[in-house]
Amino acid sequence: MGKSLFDSSVLDNILIQLGDFGKYQLYIFSLICVAIIFNAAVVVDYVFRAMNLDYRYGRKVVLIWGMVLCATCGLIRTLMPSYEWFLFAEFLNAAFGSGIYMCGFVLGVELVGPKNRVLTSIILSSCFTLGEVFVAVSAWIVKSWKHLSLIVYLPSLFVILFHWIIPESVRWNLSKGKVEEAKATLRQAAKTNGVTLSDETLIMLCVGNCKKVPEIVQHEKNPLKKVLKSTKLILRTLNCCFIWTTTTFLFYGLSWNAVILAAGNNYLNFILTALIELPGYVICNYSLVSFGRKKSLSVSYLITGVSCLSFIFAPESHTIKMVLYLTGKFGATAAFTSLYVLTSEMFPTSVRHTLMGLCSTVGRLGSMVAPQIPLLAQLWIPLPLACFAVMSFSAGLLSLLFPETLNIKLPDTIEEAENICRLPKETPT
């Protein structure tokens, strides 16, 4: 079937009619969350995203096969005869597994209407935290890295069953002209949620005609080339890359340098710094909806910056320093969650996953630098916390340059993304 242009606002209205996280969404989400939890231990680098595989072959395909191939490489890694072969398997493991969280995130966001995009992010982020705790507890018990690999990767192989269980993204099907597949998914969701969708409502999804097809095909063939011609999107992407770098720098830096919390037990240290993320997610569920994405993101960086700066001048009290440190990690967690939501909403459908992956890939530079920051304490003891504070304040200011996307329909074209502030607002019901 030929490709077609669809009305995204109509799809959002249908998703709202289907219900706020009805049985169907909860069922699909529970399966997606399984993949996210298993993937929490293997996120290293997002090199896979540059290939734009999810837009070529679908979110579901990349999610499932990325998880299965990642698990396979993780298990094969335990059988490598030499360190060189181990590194090769480790590289493949990271390459296949790196895009799973991002793909699951995009698939989840595209499954619901505007009102529940934030809740979608909170659920998936919380699943990542559960995955971190799962790995830490497993490592605490088994000690052997080979046994730990078996515990982490073996269950992931069962994700291949998702191929026959979860649907492809409705938005992806529509953007590829697979209207009947999209309608079938919406009918199944309506049936599961006990909602009636009329044929007239589904027909309104496709508003294109044969004359528009050549233009759409041309746009979809080279979406990245068109992005490179857009000054607005280039500047937005560059700013997003810097802020992603800052966010991973803060998030992982504060996680890996948390010995202050419970000195003497590295497993407990990691578990505590992971669990403090949960309150950040809960607060985000309220702030992102009440105050908007941009303000929430900026304030989150401000909280982290003030906490890190206060830590430097705080009295030598373990309790006070612990509270300040956890507050800083809380702010970094809220910033990470807010950034995921904002990034997923301000880029067009055709390159949404690719540009999110690009920003995340560049952002991994922050997580690479973060473990080296404690070395700066040899020059000046408070210098590591000072670096965290400076980066926080910088990101807080630059984040104000992003467009506000609260209740704005997801942009489907380059033009809509460029003029996202002018798009009509949708009032969730």
Instruction: Tell me if residue 425 falls in helix, strand or coil.
Output: strand
Q: Contact 285/124 with Cβ under 8 angstroms?
A: no
Segment 314-335 shows an average pLDDT of: 86
Instruction: Tell me if residue 99 falls in helix, strand or coil.
Output: coil
167 and 232 assigned to the same domain: no
**Among 49-58, 106-115, 162-171, 272-281, whose mean pLDDT is lowest?**
49-58
283 or 171, higher pLDDT: 283
pLDDT of 352 reads: 80
Segment 371-399 shows an average pLDDT of: 88
The span from the CA of 153 to the CA of 89, in Å, is: 14
Predicted confidence band of residue 42 (pLDDT cuts 50, 70, 90): very low
pLDDT of 334 reads: 93
Of 156, 180, 207, which residue constitutes the final position of a domain?
Answer: 207
Of 147, 175, 207, which residue constitutes the final position of a domain?
Answer: 207
273 and 376 assigned to the same domain: yes
Predicted confidence band of residue 417 (pLDDT cuts 50, 70, 90): confident
29 or 324, higher pLDDT: 324
In a domain, 215, yes or no: no
The span from the CA of 429 to the CA of 427, in Å, is: 6
Domain total of the chain: 2
In a domain, 299, yes or no: yes
242 and 189 assigned to the same domain: no
The token pair that represents 73 in the structure block: 């490489």
pLDDT of 76 reads: 92
Span 61-98, pLDDT tens digits = 888 888 899 899 989 989 998 878 888 888 888 777 76
371 and 405 assigned to the same domain: yes
In a domain, 212, yes or no: no
Look up residue 81 and give its amino acid: P
- Evaluate if pTM is beyond 0.85: no
126 and 200 assigned to the same domain: yes
The span from the CA of 417 to the CA of 408, in Å, is: 11
Span 272-293, pLDDT tens digits = 778 888 988 888 888 988 899 9
152 and 254 assigned to the same domain: no
CA atoms within 13 A on the CB side of 238: 7
Which range marks the domain in which residue 287 is found? Answer: 221-429
pLDDT of 51 reads: 42
Predicted confidence band of residue 412 (pLDDT cuts 50, 70, 90): confident
153 and 189 assigned to the same domain: yes
Span 251-276, pLDDT tens digits = 988 877 765 554 557 787 778 778 88
